[in-house]
Structure 1
Amino acid sequence: MSKKQRRDIPRFAHPIIETHCHLDYLEADALAEELQTAREVGVERIITIAVSPGNLDTVQDLAQREDRVFCTQGVHPHEAEAYNAEVDQRIRQAASNPKVVAIGEIGLDYFYDHADRAIQRQVFADQLLIAAACDLPVVIHSRDADEDMQAILTEHLESLPKRGVIHSFSSGLSLAEFALEAGFMLGFNGMVTFNSANNVRDAVALTPVNQILLETDAPYLTPVPYRGRSNGPRYLPFVAEKVAEIKDLPIEELLKQCFANSERLFFTHAQDADVQ
């Protein structure tokens, strides 16, 4: 990253928590630079996300090495066919690690259909049971599967007091309304800045500010003005700016509330900030 690019990233007084990215996709040198640059632009903590049996240990190791990095444990719907009893047990055992803050990334993806849909549904349900047993929130991936997503979550709501987040939200408003009413949060990333993403901006407008999380999903979905480049937590301020604009809130108020939301879901039982 050039010095000019560093200068172009907004700096705000209130810190930010990156709630969803994939740091283990970066090479060691790039990771060190990313963590340093993220710190410089106010990203205080980062949650790096597990997606497959192959990176369950990798994200834990990364979180153990870096004080400001935390992780999840779970199997993405693309990898659902690799899920088995041994993987289930590994996730359950890892959940006791204080650096593990959620079960995820789990859910359904009927857009790519990389795994059989019936297997996706079963693996999603199995991992919701892990979250319930381990008293952890869930990080959910949902794409083109609104009806089944709502049905499965409805079945498990009573056992998930900590709820969780539907990350990278781009689904229909009916799923948004259901999730918000049920007490889930919605995660928004660089898509909110894309010209074609009116559906995402509509979801932001619908979501109460005390149920919004900020994320990048890096290295994917880089926000404008750097769309087309590899993404990183360093670009989170651009997401925050756009969400604040849509919610018609001063940026520092938006950041204060989103920070409190992230703390409440993943780190503490902090009370809501007083933003209406």
Structure 2
Amino acid sequence: MKNSEKQGIVMMPVIDAHIHFDQYKKEEQNLILDELEKYQVKALLSVSTDLNSAQKNLALARMDSRVKPAFGFYPEQPLPGEEELQKLLNFIDTHHQDMIAVGEIGLPYYLKLEAVTMQRDAYIELLEELIKVAVKYNKPVALHAIYEDAPIVIDLLEKYSVQKAHFHWFKGDKTTLQHTENNGYFISFTPDVVYEEEIQMIVQNYPLSQLMVETDGPWPFEGPFQDQMTHPKMMHEAVRVLAKLKKIDLKEVYQQLHWNTESFYSIAKS
């Protein structure tokens, strides 16, 4: 009997649509990789925060093909210098065939709350530059854009006719959510859907055909995941909760989420 069938627990293939795998300690990376098959996790979409992060993710992907790297610049940090940005762009140019997407990119919502004098226009310019890179290489974008930042990002996506946009851990109002849905963009939810009413409301009102599941690890979670290392296995509980919220057969939810992520990111079947 398979592990997934023990005690009547349904567990089907999943893909972690957004994880910072390079940020885990080496022993944690090894543990997760060793347990991917056990928990039927087919791939990890490991997003990057800067050039160093991108280099680490590329190395991880070359070590294990289940790690699918995305290259970008995480917005919740100081802007890169001109030389640093050029090195990142050169790295992407050199390794664009190795990357599955441009990401993580977006706008600094939380940083903005802390820094009143933040150069907002400069962050928008950086985002626009990276969106252009995605268009150049015909790659999806993995986005950090929440609340009032999301409409600004949507405007940029529309400006460049970007169709493959993934808003990870989306948070925003109903109008923005509807705009995102109408444009065919995808959003993903984390294990906090198990205990966060805000996230439950969002996924309940978004089409299953445009949803993915993620961990955003090593970001820690609360509720039943309190004090645990964030592990892709947590996605299974998140999927079970989603199925209950949408009142859709669990197997159908698993299959749709897997297909969504696999097709969106052009992940070859193994």
TM bucket (normalised to shorter chain) is 0.7 to 0.9
Greater mean alpha carbon deviation, residues 163-172 or residues 150-159 = 150-159
Gap change, CA 1:10 and 1:55, over 3 Å in 2: farther
Residue number in structure 1 paired with 2:46: 48
1:71 to 69, 89, 101: 69
**Does 1:118 find its partner at 2:138?**
no
Q: 1:269 to 1:235 in 2, by over 3 A?
A: closer
CA distance in 2, matches of 1:8, 1:225: 21
Change (3 A) 1:14 1:60: same
8 A contact 2:18–2:44 mirrored in 1:
yes
For the residues of structure 2 that align with 1:198 and 1:231, how far apart are their CA atoms?
A: 20
Q: Which residue of 1 aligns with 2:200?
A: 201
2:137 paired residue number: 134
Structure 2 CA distance, aligned partners of 1:238 and 1:228?
Answer: 16
Secondary structure, in 3 states, of the residue corresponding to 1:104? Answer: strand
Name the CA distance, whole Å, in 2 between partners of 1:17 and 1:182: 23
CA, structure 1 residues 30+152, in 2 after alignment: closer, same or farther (shift >3 Å)? closer
8 A Cα contact 1:51 1:76, kept in partner: yes
2:154 is matched with which residue? 153
Q: TM-score, normalised by structure 2?
A: 0.87
Identity %: 18
User: Aligned residues, how many?
Assistant: 259
What is the deviation of 1:33?
Answer: 1.0
CA contact (8 A) 1:135 1:162 kept: no
Conserved 8 A contact 1:50-1:73 = yes
Does structure 2 retain, via aligned residues, the 8 Å contact 1:74–1:106? yes
Give the Cα–Cα distance (whole angstroms) in 2 for the partners of residues 11 and 93 of structure 1: 45
Q: Distance in 1 between matches of 2:143 and 2:7?
A: 29
Task: Tell me: CA distance 1:160–1:56, structure 2 relative to 1, closer, same or farther (3 Å).
Answer: farther
Counterpart residue number, 1:24: 22
CA distance in 2, matches of 1:20, 1:10: 28
Deviation at 1:13, TM superposition (A): 4.7
1:128, 1:122 → 2: CA distance?
10
Which residue of structure 2 aligns with residue 60 of structure 1?
58
State the alpha-carbon separation in 2 of the partners of residues 7 and 24 from structure 1. 31
For residue 168 of structure 1, what is the amino acid of its counterpart?
A: W
| SS across alignment from 2:12 | coil
Other-structure match for 1:175: 176
Contact 2:15 / 2:42 at 8 angstroms: preserved in 1? yes
Give the CA deviation at 1:180.
1.1
- The alignment status of 1:240 with 2:239, answered yes or no, reads yes
Per the TM alignment, residue 120 of structure 1 is displaced from its structure 2 partner at its CA by 1.5
Could you tell me whether the CA contact under 8 Å between 1:189 and 1:214 is conserved in 2?
yes
Amino acid aligned to 1:129: K
Partner secondary structure for residue 265 of structure 2: helix
CA distance in 1, matches of 2:225, 2:25: 20
**In 2, Cα distance between the equivalents of 1:7 and 1:26?**
29
Question: Which residue identity does 1:237 align to in structure 2?
Answer: H
User: 2:43–2:68: 8 Å Cα contact kept in structure 1?
Assistant: yes
CA distance in 2, matches of 1:76, 1:30: 22
Q: What are the superposed Cα offsets for residues 194-223 of structure 1, whole Å, 9 maximum, x if unpaired?
A: 2xx222111101110100000010111436
Counterpart residue type for residue 36 of structure 2: A
Residues 164 and 265 in structure 1, CA contact (< 8 A), matched pair in contact too: no
Query: What's the Cα RMSD here?
Result: 2.5
1:212 is matched with which residue?
211
Q: Distance in 2 between matches of 1:11 and 1:179?
A: 34
Aligned equivalent of 2:189: 188
Shift of 1:80: 5.4
CA distance in 1, matches of 2:35, 2:268: 29
- The alignment status of 1:102 with 2:105, answered yes or no, reads no
Aligned partners of 1:9 and 1:41 also within 8 Å: no
Does the Cα contact within 8 Å between 2:157 and 2:163 map onto a contact in 1?
A: no
